[in-house]
Amino acid sequence: MLASYLSAIPLPCVFIGQDKRVLGANNLALTLKPGLVEQRSYILMFRQPAFGAAVEQCLSTKETQRATYLHTEGQQETRYELTCSYITLPEATQPEVKGILVCFQDITQVQQAGEIRRDFVANVSHELKTPLTALLGFIETLQGPAKNDAEARARFLGIMASEAKRMNRLVGDLLSLSRVEEDARMRPTDAVDIRDLLRSVIRNLSEVAKDRLHQIKFAAPDAPVKILGDQDQLTQVFTNLIENAQKYGGETAQVTVTLEEFDWDATLRRAAVRVRVQDSGPGIEAIHIPRLTERFYRIDSHRSREVGGTGLGLAIVKHIVNRHRGRLKIASVLGQGSTFTALLPKN
Ligand code: ADP
């Protein structure tokens, strides 16, 4: 009878008798703790002090107790919240079944989500606080010591404008990110000519490029290349990637954009296009590559801020590519430049 009660509970759980022996465990608990043996003392099975304290407290007070239980398997650590409840099973079914039902609820993801949210809020606050502090400082100076200094005023207003633009870019990127996250589940359904889209992104960015050394090379098939996509979001992806190639590629970096189409791609298992954005810049050290798409991850924060970066560009790129059911790959060899490849399904 006890076994059937326990197997109906959708969480790992064990039943501990008043004599501290394990009287039953469901399959989920046996998966969690393969060496669990019934009729043995729970103390030998669960050696964590918090577990013991909660069980003992529950035995003596008969009140529900909670505790945290850490389960380690290899490198993986799972955090459970334990609930110990004193219960008596109906006597008609089986006399003398009194004891403690211990249920294990996996709270690892909830806790991680909480940490990510706290980190994110801390990062956003920090990113906004820096330009805001600068703005407040300059306003104070302009109201006081530099009140009648026309030259200083012009200079400070210039800096204030660039700090305000930085905040504006950050807020813009945050809004883009939340919009992309919002419709992440809905795959875009419009037909987009990706060759035409890349041409127009390259045209816009070539205009802002300072010199001819930064001219962008573009190689593409002769005919239009249609894919299912979101025009604005794809424009944002390739604007971010090409802008990064220009920003971080160094003064003399060559930027090459290549568009190829395939009737069959083994990774996506369907017809696909591949867009490669290659620069001949200093490259990226291997340890940074897996983390580049994290929000606010920068290799050199000072350099990123100097060139107007928000640290969100690649996070946005990754989200948009995922929404298109594509893949983003980053490859780099120090001293030989970097290649950012977006693989996108055609249909
Ligand atoms: P940011 O706004 O700082 O440019 P991104 O998310 O676009 O943010 O990029 C994250 C970091 O990745 C950048 O700060 C930079 O250090 C690095 N990075 C991105 N693209 C390149 C590139 N083409 N070459 C070298 N480093 C790059």
At 213 the pLDDT is 57
For ligand 1, atom 23, name the residue with the nearest CA.
245
179 Cα–ligand 1 center, Å: 21
Ligand 1 in reach of 289 Cβ (< 6 A): no
pLDDT digits (tens, 9 = 90+) for 185-205: 899 999 999 999 999 999 999
Which of 290, 318, 174, 305 is closest to 247 using CA atoms?
305
Whether residue 281 has its Cβ less than 6 Å from ligand 1: yes
pLDDT at residue 1 above 90?
no
> What pLDDT is attached to residue 96?
66
Maximum C-alpha span of the chain? 94
pLDDT tens across 55-68, in order?
999 999 999 999 99
Testing ligand 1's pocket by substitution, the residue of 277, 304, 319, 341 carrying the most ligand atoms inside 8 A of its CB is 304
Instruction: Classify burial at 7, counting beta carbons within 10 Å of its beta carbon; exposed 0-12, middle 13-18, buried 19 or more.
Output: middle
pLDDT tens track for 247-269 = 898 777 789 999 999 999 999 99
Cβ contacts of residue 341 below 8 Å, gap of 6+?
274, 275, 276, 277, 328, 329, 330, 331
Residue to mutate, 292, 300, 303, ligand 1, most ligand atoms under 8 Å from C-beta = 292
Spell out the residues 6+ positions from residue 210 whose beta carbon is closer than 8 angstroms to its own: none
Q: How far is the CA of 5 from the centre of ligand 1 (A)?
A: 55
The verdict on the CB of residue 310 being under 6 Å from ligand 1 is: yes
